[in-house]
Amino acid sequence: MKQEITQRFERNIARVKNLVSIYRNQLAGAGQGRRGYQQTDVLRAATVLLHAALEDVLRSLAYWKLPAAQAAVLDQIPIVGGTAMKISLGTLSAHRGKSVDDLIKASTDASLERSNYNNTGEVSSLLLSMGLNTAPLAPYMAQMEEAMKRRHRIVHRADENPNVGRGNHWVASISPLTLDTWIGNTERFVRDVLAQV
């Protein structure tokens, strides 16, 4: 499973890097100065895809590890097909013939289908729920939070610049160097997470 997660992450990161390369080689143009949003939108797409690559790793790890989590973690996950944390015999009757392990796996999987990780607090909580040590991952969190906030602004606000006015464009600027930093940080974070499993 670890190898599969690693390979998928490497493919996804290659896609992100390809978008940055497209910007550098085909859209950046010559000379100094800020490029228009039409050219830099490919960097915004790379930011969104970078977040998706990270979420894929987190969710894949959770599919793998959460079914074996401590009871206190599993207590926070509703039984598949339900929303309540307390389980009645009537609720269980819909799962006759399934093993407890199968029911736990189906419930964690159903919960993960609706999951997303929009900030480093959510990421840390998930990692802790899987029994990982988040202390060695602390150096990555500030840049990860920055990338996540930017992705949120791109996805939910079309990266509109709140500081419009003389010298400011209506779309916030973004650079390939920023993406390089976020990509490197994400690669190191994922490497260190996967080293724990």
Q: What is the tens place of the pLDDT at every residue in 115-127?
A: 889 999 999 999 9
Tell me which residue has tokens 């989590």. 69
C-alpha span between 184 and 143 (Å, rounded): 10
Residue type at position 12:
N
C-alpha span between 172 and 35 (Å, rounded): 11
Q: Give the Å distances, CA to CA, from 162 to 34, 38, 157, 165, 173.
A: 18, 19, 10, 9, 12
Q: Is 168 helix (H, G, I), strand (E, B) or coil?
A: strand
pLDDT digits (tens, 9 = 90+) for 5-14: 999 999 999 9
Confidence at residue 166, expressed as pLDDT on a 0 to 100 scale: 53
C-alpha span between 59 and 82 (Å, rounded): 21
Residue ranges in the chain modelled with pLDDT below 70: 31, 33-35, 82-85, 88-89, 92, 163-169
Which tokens in the block code for residue 45? 């797409």
CB atoms under 10 Å from CB of 30, counted, come to 4
Confidence at residue 76, expressed as pLDDT on a 0 to 100 scale: 84
Confidence at residue 161, expressed as pLDDT on a 0 to 100 scale: 77
Confidence at residue 129, expressed as pLDDT on a 0 to 100 scale: 92
End-to-end CA, the chain: 10
pTM here is 0.86
